[in-house]
Amino acid sequence: MNELLVFICDGAPVRGEIVSISTAWQAVLERRDDPPAVRRILGDFVGAATLLSASLKFDGTLIIQAQSKGPIQLLVVECKSDLSMRATVKLSVEPSEISADASLGKLLDASQSGRLVITLDPSDREPGQPPYQGIVALQELHNGIMKPVTSAAEAIGLYMQNSEQLDTRIWLTSNDTHIGGLLLQRLPDSGGHAHLEPQAAAEGWTRIQTLGETITNEELLTLPPETILRRLFLEESTENGVRSFPARPIRFSCRCSRNKVADVLRMLGEQEVQSILAEQGVVETFCEFCAKPYRFDAVDCLQVFKTDLLSDATRPPSSGH
């Protein structure tokens, strides 16, 4: 199962999504060797990025990026509007130092240093125009006391409420083989649900949330989205039923290329690259998302800095990638 199902509630101003990711998630993990707690957090954010990418309805790339001074130094998840995704994480400590039950706060917000940013990068963005970025809180005020956000679902819910002004509930779970997620979003009382009285709309939103709260992690990880939809909203009457749309496929896809690596070498500068060549004989790097190796020998590097045509600067190497 690698699919996302979108549905609409006719009797309540609610739009929802159910996501189930298996082989695409395994494609991420087979290139990594992260401790269980890190895998769990990375999986939850992969599920969140997929749900958000579909709910925000824009053509481009959604990026969730977390940085901290904690054990997780950097976490990046990218999901395009066609639901192709990739993900990576960089640790500041040895994997063996991270306990299996380490929380999101401990890994990503040590000493309240965590910073979570969601970037929306439209495919038609004009040159020089910055993408839209929203800061996601990793601390929330409760009764006058700042408390750490405990999950990716909680952080994304806060982002949707603060940035999109939409009441949103998210349930996320993941293990070594699957990611499951459910998103419920209250729609404006205008539009397709304008016929509902304000009280009826509020009661409908509460009712659908209550049904959503009955979902279990096991169901999210093992049942197809269509089955989850029927199981959750079986109580909804025919006239106030739930309509679903054709499921959309999800896949792992890395956008790394030899051209992009050559671009990075240019940013490093010729002097730095020549220094690496003198020390190692070649410049070799690996994509952090898919682990694909890229090797540039002295002739490759010479071309990188002696031509304005990037395609010429990145001729196929005689060996390796």
Which range has highest mean pLDDT (54-63, 91-100, 122-131, 173-182)?
173-182
Q: What confidence score (pLDDT) does residue 156 get?
A: 87
Number of continuous H segments (helices) and E segments (strands) in the chain: 11, 16
Q: How many residues does the chain have?
A: 321
- Number of other residues whose CB lies within 10 A of the CB of residue 97: 11
Residue 295 has pLDDT above 90, yes or no: yes
Residue 58, C-beta contacts closer than 8 angstroms, at least 6 positions apart = 81, 120, 122
Q: Across residues 99-108, what is the average pLDDT?
A: 88
Mean pLDDT of 140-158: 80
pLDDT tens per residue across span 197-207: 888 888 889 99
Q: Indicate the average pLDDT of the chain.
A: 87
| Cβ partners under 8 Å of residue 217, min gap 6 | 173, 180
317 DSSP 8-state letter? P
Query: Is residue 189 pLDDT above 90, yes or no?
Result: no
Q: What's the start-to-end Cα distance of the chain, in Å?
A: 31
- pTM value? 0.86
pLDDT tens figures, 248-283:
999 999 989 999 999 999 999 999 999 999 999 999
* Per-residue confidence band for 190, with pLDDT thresholds at 50, 70 and 90: low
Domains and CATH numbers, the chain: 2-252 (3.55.30.10), 258-313 (3.90.1280.10)
Rounded distance, CA 312 to CA 309, Å? 5
Mean pLDDT of all residues in 23-39: 92
Q: Is residue 62 very low, low, confident or very high in pLDDT (cuts 50, 70, 90)?
A: very high
Alpha helices by DSSP H, listed for 145-269, are: 152-163, 198-212, 217-222, 225-232, 258-268
pLDDT value at residue 148: 76
- 133, 118 Cβ separation under 8 angstroms: yes
Supply the pLDDT for residue 141: 67
- With a cut of 60, say whether residue 45 has pLDDT above it: yes
